[in-house]
Amino acid sequence: MRTTVGIVGAGPAGLLLARLLHTAGIDSVVLESRDRAYVEQRQRAGILEQGTVDVLRAAGAGARMDREGLRHDGIELRWAGRRHRVDLPALTGGRSVTVYAQTEVCKDLIALQLEEGGPLLFGAEALAVEDAGTARPRIPFRHQGRADVLECDYVVGCDGFWGVSRKAVPAALSRTFERTYPFGWLGVLADVAPSHDELVYARHDRGFALLSMRSPSVSRLYLQVPAGTDAESWGDDEIWAELERRFATDDDWTLERGPITQKSVTPMRSFVHEPMRHGRLFLAGDAAHIVPPTGAKGLNLAVGDVVTFARALVHRRETGSADLLDAYARTCLGRVWQAERFSHDMTALLHRAPDATPFEDRLQLARLERIASSRAAEADLAEAYTGFPLD
């Protein structure tokens, strides 16, 4: 097989890149090792930054998002029984975020790709990325029991942390930056209407909690738990009781309970691989960087990566200049490290470390008080939360 851009991985990054290239008249082939049902059911992020929303709309993939997504103009911070709302549009010149699950983004992009775009091969396992440092990179893959090779002008690795793409960068050139946190998130889906109309981030002496949602009738909630926790070790009543403790306020707000339909534990880590480009291979999304979910940046960073690549390739076609392609890693990493900073800061602000001292507890409370009392501090949070510019 032969194409201009070989895309490894059909998560939101790979699918969006295929869509962006298609609308620009550039051919691509997407290789995805899993089947369609798995990709469309894989529970991941649910918060879309303003820039991500704008890109999906411009790509013709925003119709259902606009109908069913939940626009949020604020988030709520809670600590010591207090509640403080951060007004996102007022602090950012009108920007907001939208709750729309990654599963739904993938469904929309898959439908468009199968109807209008180039080949999207499910069950196609990429075995390696070869000759990345040459003008003709290759992707050997296995599909429907047969071995094949995809020859490309460019390869974009959107195959996540465990994929083959990053392994094609020579070890002598690779640098990794990583932090593993001593806690994770116990996440649950519950068939109950959200108890608040915006996301609630709670700092508590027993640990962090987050109230989110997937729809007007389905709640998504999280509890900070020790690393390595087995989700099934928590009973449903125990989960609701702990959520009530951590979300408790000094007013009459109450947390509504409902049937828990899913439990899982998400480990927390920060990771960056440099460089994000080697020859004709470009890394995007989790293949190059991972953030703790506190800042809601993972999917949005991946979108920024593929938008940067698509714009650079269109620029190359229209002008003959490779300047933007050559600047890909530098452009993306500037945004990546700001997102890493913000995600780490939010994690440190709201989570209680197992060995936290009273001094550190007081610092957390002081930082929250500063956000609540200073428009400048509040605006810094709001600007980062709604997204760093894609330009």
Judge whether 335 and 301 are in contact, CB under 8 Å. yes
Q: Return d(Cα 73, Cα 58) in angstroms, integer.
A: 21
Q: Which of 372, 379, 358 is nearest to 79 (CA)?
A: 372
Count other Cβ atoms within 10 Å, centred on residue 146. 7
Judge whether 202 and 79 are in contact, CB under 8 Å. yes
Q: Return d(Cα 211, Cα 219) in angstroms, integer.
A: 8
SS3 181: strand
Q: Which of 12, 137, 292, 293 is catalytic?
A: 293
Question: Phi first, then psi: what are they for 178, rounded to 5°?
Answer: -150, 145
Q: Which of 201, 222, 289, 351 is catalytic?
A: 201
Q: Return d(Cα 141, Cα 27) in angstroms, integer.
A: 19
Q: Which of 12, 22, 72, 204 is catalytic?
A: 72
Q: Which of 268, 305, 314, 267 is nearest to 287 (CA)?
A: 305
- Element (H or E) spanning 217, and its range? none
Question: Phi first, then psi: what are they for 138, rounded to 5°?
Answer: -135, 150
Q: Is 263 a catalytic residue?
A: no
Q: Which of 196, 273, 289, 297 is catalytic?
A: 297
Q: Is 297 a catalytic residue?
A: yes
Judge whether 14 and 105 are in contact, CB under 8 Å. no
Which residues, at least 6 apart from 211, have a Cβ–Cβ distance to it below 8 Å? Answer: 194, 195, 196, 199, 200, 202, 219, 221, 243, 247, 255
Q: Is 201 a catalytic residue?
A: yes
Which residues are annotated as catalytic?
72, 201, 293, 297, 385
